[in-house]
Every structure is written in C-alpha cells, then in structure tokens.
Amino acid sequence: MELLSYGAVELATAIKEGKATAVEAMEAVLSRIDAMEEKINAYVTIDRDAALEEAQEAQKKIEAGVLTGVLAGVPMAVKDNLCTEGMLTTCASKILGNFVPAFSAEAVVKLKQAGAVMIGKTNMDEFAMGSTTETSAFGETKNPWNLEYVPGGSSGGSAAAVASNECFFAVGSDTGGSIRQPASFCGVVGLKPTYGTVSRYGLIAYGSSLDQIGPLTKNVSDCAAVLEVLAGHDTKDSTSIQREDTDFTSALVLDVAGLRIGIPRDYFGEGLDPEVKTAVLAAAQAFAAAGAIVEEFDLSLVEYAIPTYYTIAAAEASSNLERFDGVKYGYRTPEFDGLHNMYKKTRSEGFGAEVKRRIMLGSFVLSSGYYDAYYLKALKVKAMIKKAFDDAFANYDLILGPVAPTTAPRLGESLSDPLKMYLGDIYTISVNLAGLPGISVPCGTDKKGLPIGLQLIADRFCEKKLIQAAYTYEKLRGAFGLEH
C-alpha cells in the first residue's frame, strides 16, 4: 500500500535509489487492479505478462545505468485512442474492437524512452465523444470516489485509474475538456497543453484542430514532469510546433506574488452549482492571500463557445471518421450486398449512438448549401473567441474559474439528454477553440463527498505560469485525495 501512495516522480526516485524496484511497483499496481477493477472498470485492455516483463527489463536497465529517464520504472496507463504497437487500440468502439496497431503514438514512444512501463489501455467515451465515459462500447467506468457516479470523460478511465491508484500516472486527450473535466470529477491533476505542443502522431483523430494529448497525475510535480517528456516537435505531425521552453519542471516554484489573475464574471452566472462556486472562489482567495492580484472581468462570448465547438468538432469528426469503412482494419459486417452496402452496414453496426449523432451533424454542417451558414460561421466566431482571450491576456497572467458547472453526475443521468450534457463543457471548450493551455487542480469536495476542480487557463505557450500557480496552490491547499 505504501508504494502505491507514491507519486510518479517519487517512485522513479525511490527506484533509482534502490529503495524499490520497477517490478515491485508493477506488482503492486497489478494487485491493486485485481482488487479494484471489477468495481471501477478503468481499463479496456491489460496485458499483465507484457507489463511484468517490461518492468523486469526496465529494472535491469536501471541497475545497469542505461535507463536514467525521469519516469524510469514507473507504471503508466494510456488512453485507448493512442496507438500502441502490438496492443489492442479500440477507441472504446466496436468498429475498432480488434485493431492492433503496427506502430505506437509518438507520445507513447517518448514516455517509454523516459522509462515509463505501460500497464494497459484505459476506457473512454467512444472516439472521445462524450463527457461521462458512458458511451464506451466496453461498459462504463465508475468514479472511484463514489461508484454510483460517472468519472467524467472522455478520458474517464485515465482519471479513474489515477484516482484509484491503479496506475502512477496516465495520459489522456482533450478536445473540449476531456482531460480537465474527468480530472476534476476524480480529484486528480489534468493538463491540456497549448495546441501543437505534444505530437498527435498516432492519436486517433476526433477534432484534429482541437485535439491535444496531456497528463493526468496525482500531483502538479508529476504533471510538470510528464508534460516535459511529452512535449517536443515532431515532423510526423504537421501541426506540431517548435518551442524551446519545455523545461516545465523548472516552474515548480512556490511563488504567486504579483501574479495577475482574472476571474471571468461570465463563468460564475446561472447554472453554476453553489458549492462549486464557493470552493473555486475560496481558491481565488487563497491566491490573493499569497500575494496574487485577483480581479473580476468580463471575458465575453462565453455563451457562443458551445455552439461553435459542436459545429467544428462534429464537422472534423465526420471527416476523420470516414476512414472506418471495414476495408483495411477493424470491424466488417458479416453480410452485405455490394461495396456501398458493406460501408453503410459496417459503420452503422460499428459506431454507437453518440458517434453517429456527431457524424450526422458534421456531415450536415459541411454539406453544400449549409457550409457557409454553419461551418464557416463557426470558424469566424472561433476567431472572435480567440480575440476575446487575447484581450484578457493583455491584462492578466492567468484566468481562474471552475472546470465544470457541477461535480460528477450520477451514472445514467446524462445520456438521455445530449444537449444538456454538452452544456457541461461550457468552461473547458473555449480553451480548445483558442488553442490555450489549461489545468485542472482539485480544490475541495461537495456535500456528497465528490471532488471539485479549479481551472487555471494561460495564454499560448505559458504552461510554466500554469504550473507555478497550480504548484503553489497545491501547497496552500494541503493534501487531497481518496483514502485508500
């Protein structure tokens, strides 16, 4: 149990110092999984033998002094939309239920180079479309804080695995809040980097102009360390950017004196749960007491973010998901009449309801006669939303607000009303539209005992400000987490 309470970097240090081994760490995680997984269902695929074998290899290399990375020997969980060579990668969809990639995502390659050892693949909303991990074709994941509630989504399996100590850290992807919101619901730290910071090579695309890979961790120090490993230019992703300032752990400094923090009034209006509001404003108070300059301001255009996002994301999804046609990989319907019928039947049987809903909407907004009115209009509003953030960051270093309007909803409550579920993304999606980095840090619990998340948003390339502020807040807040 004691080993499981370590953070990822703490564990790597302990292994380096000979106080623990990579094999002991993996065995501890696997027995934790044995005890918890039946209840939580955080994973879609676990390969125990491969995980133990890799841990043994890592331990040998660490002892020989050839594996010295910051995550050497640390067991990790990977969201099931990141390709992993030789291991099932399903996107939690029937249509990819048997897909074994011939290559690994760049993010996975980098983590392995840093010494991390993969446990398995985590559950998610099908193709990352959803906010609860209930649209998975392999059953829902449950919130470790209370099994009657959702873990959030779409990276719900990754967040639940971190919260329940079924891994030491995890990676997820965030298109409209899919890292930050489950991190908030499960009481862990989650960061969505500036667009282009982490290579999307090998990430199965949903909304390509919005998707970013990022860490889900037990604490802010681990978050910085994992992000430092993930970040970097990659010629295999044409939207990957060159940046020099990726030494994120150098920002683990306790200091917010003089930091200018803006609180958007528009984030605290109707629809925000009073308990969430109280906890987030208390966090703002803590920053002010530590010397930050905290002010309210009007961000504007907040109410237009959701319709803009769902137009653009659905359009991109309808295009990206055209590749699933039953020809080269994945599911193919057993009986069909000719090529077109094969395509149609394969897709209709292979995709779940939410995925079909977004493909249909996306096909419509891109169709001749509607393209200008819907898709092009949304791209224009996206430009306006980005401008609103540019104006805000002329005055503030960081924007502070809630991650989601409520804590985790009960299982089964969200799917009956998709539009209502989409409205829960209000505070996270504009960050993706504007390409900004955002972090979710636990800031309290509600009366039901469910975690509340604080969101900090920075200007593009300013992850270090996020990390420094989040690290300082974490120390001000004190210990947080599930009693195991």
Partner 1 sequence: MANVISDETIDYVGILAKLELSDGEKEQAKKDMGRMLDYIDKLGELDTTGVEPMSHVFPVQNVFREDVVTNGDESAKTLKNAPGEKDNMFIVPITI
Q: Which is nearer to partner 1, 163 or 301 (CB)?
A: 301
Q: Which is nearer to partner 1, 6 or 206 (CB)?
A: 206
Cβ contacts of 368 within 8 Å, gap of 6 or more? none
Catalytic entry in 131, 173, 178, 414 = 178
Q: In 10 A of CB 342, how many CB atoms? A: 17
CB of 412 to partner 1, least distance (A): 18
CB of 109 to partner 1, least distance (A): 14
Q: Which is nearer to partner 1, 218 or 460 (CB)?
A: 460
Q: Which is nearer to partner 1, 325 or 397 (CB)?
A: 325
CB of 345 to partner 1, least distance (A): 6
- Residues 252-286, buried b or exposed e (16+ Cβ, 10 A)? beeebeebebbbbebbbeeebeebbbebbbebbeb
Max Cα-Cα span within the chain: 70
CB of 258 to partner 1, least distance (A): 28
To the query of whether residue 318 is one of the catalytic residues in this protein, the response is no
162 φ, ψ to 5°? -70, -45
Q: Rounded CA gap, 148 and 155, in Å? A: 18
Q: Which is nearer to partner 1, 191 or 433 (CB)?
A: 433
CB of 191 to partner 1, least distance (A): 18
CB of 375 to partner 1, least distance (A): 9
Q: In 10 A of CB 475, how many CB atoms? A: 10
Site of interaction with partner 1 (CB under 8 A): 98-100, 102, 195-196, 209, 235, 238-239, 241, 301, 303-304, 306-308, 310-311, 318, 322, 325-332, 336, 338-340, 342-345, 347-348, 351, 356-357, 359-365, 367, 374, 376-384, 386, 418-419, 434-435, 460
Q: Which is nearer to partner 1, 238 or 274 (CB)?
A: 238
Bridge partner list, 117: 75
What is the token pair recorded at 267? 């984030």
To the query of whether residue 154 is one of the catalytic residues in this protein, the response is yes
Catalytic entry in 79, 112, 382, 465 = 79
Bridge partner list, 170: 77, 216
325 φ, ψ to 5°? -130, 5
Q: Which is nearer to partner 1, 36 or 434 (CB)?
A: 434
Write down the number of H helices and E strands in the chain.
Answer: 15, 11
Length of the chain: 484
To the query of whether residue 238 is one of the catalytic residues in this protein, the response is no
Q: In 10 A of CB 349, how many CB atoms? A: 14
Catalytic entry in 104, 154, 155, 221 = 154
- Residues 163-189, buried b or exposed e (16+ Cβ, 10 A)? bbbbbbbbbbbbbbbbbbbbbbbbbbb
CB of 310 to partner 1, least distance (A): 7
Q: Rounded CA gap, 336 and 345, in Å? A: 7
Which residues are known to be catalytic?
Answer: 79, 154, 178
